[in-house]
Amino acid sequence: MDQDHGATDKVKLTADDTSEDELHTSLQQPSRTLKSTAQQDSSFNEPRSRSREHTLAREGYGFRTTSRIASSAGTPVVEHSLHSLSISAPSPIPDMHGLGWPAKSTVSRLNETPQERAAREAKLAAAVRTLLEGIGEDPDREGLVRTPERYAKALLWMTKGYEERLTDVINDAIFAEDHDEMVIVRDIDVFSLCEHHLVPFTGKISIGYIPNGLVLGLSKLARIAETFSRRLQVQERLTRQIAIAVEEAIRPMGVAVVMEATHLCMCMRGVQKPGSTTVTSTMRGAFREKAKTREEFLTLIRTPQYSR
């Protein structure tokens, strides 16, 4: 479920004036801290160097477990574990398990035993048998007798993104690199299930970011897209989740994601318009703030592919 807390809703903390007790208080009263900080600093929304401040974004996935707080005077960075502060108020990071917008029973699925997995498959198979009976079919005829079990296994595989932690997906493939130009992986094929009708939508995703001292393994961009697409989705949320995951993983100067997809819920039912496509985009940081940067990204992802 999408928990949109806003990209600019952040709490600014520095080592010069923030103790652990004050950090505890600021997390309990985020709106008051945000208001007072914004009043003191007229340039609150301007981009800043990561080495001079750390912001606790009120969104994210929880796979970054430490808060790096550096003073404005350039003193050594202090690391605080969010879990070690014994914060009684809800964490600004909504998902401590690193799953990103987990569903109601996602955690139980993540940690289930083989016996619990078998029970889940049996429950799904029984539900599919009921569906077959509901549409007037005979679930005991030769062609359908094993369909409930097959579909149960297939559906669990098609939604395996619920069982993947982003920290495991990224797997420490984050590298320090002095590169501050745009990095783009484009035309990533994705397949997902529309959560409104449980029918597929398929398309391509292009992901770009501008590093800020760290780069992400190229294959991890595709894996992040795969993780979120293997869940019940709407295209708008899928696009945004990918962007936020990249942003939280490496804190780049900006992230851009564009997705173009065909939805079978529009093609094979309802309005029945085959050939129609839906395009969504999420622009964050420099891509949102600078028109030329955004234009460069959009131009590069539309350039014809090189062919020999």
Active site residues: 194-197, 235, 263, 265
Burial of 259 (0-12, 13-18, 19+ CB in 10 A): buried
Structure tokens, 138: 């005979």
Contacting residues for 208 by C-beta, under 8 A, at least 6 apart: 182, 183, 184, 185, 186, 255, 256, 257, 287, 297, 300, 301
The phi-psi region of residue 263 (left if phi > 0; otherwise alpha if psi is between -120 and 50; otherwise beta) is beta
In 77-127 the beta strands, taken as DSSP E runs, fall at 78-81
Q: How many CB atoms lie within 10 A of CB 83?
A: 12
The angle formed by the CA atoms of residues 132, 138 and 139, to the nearest 5 degrees, is 60
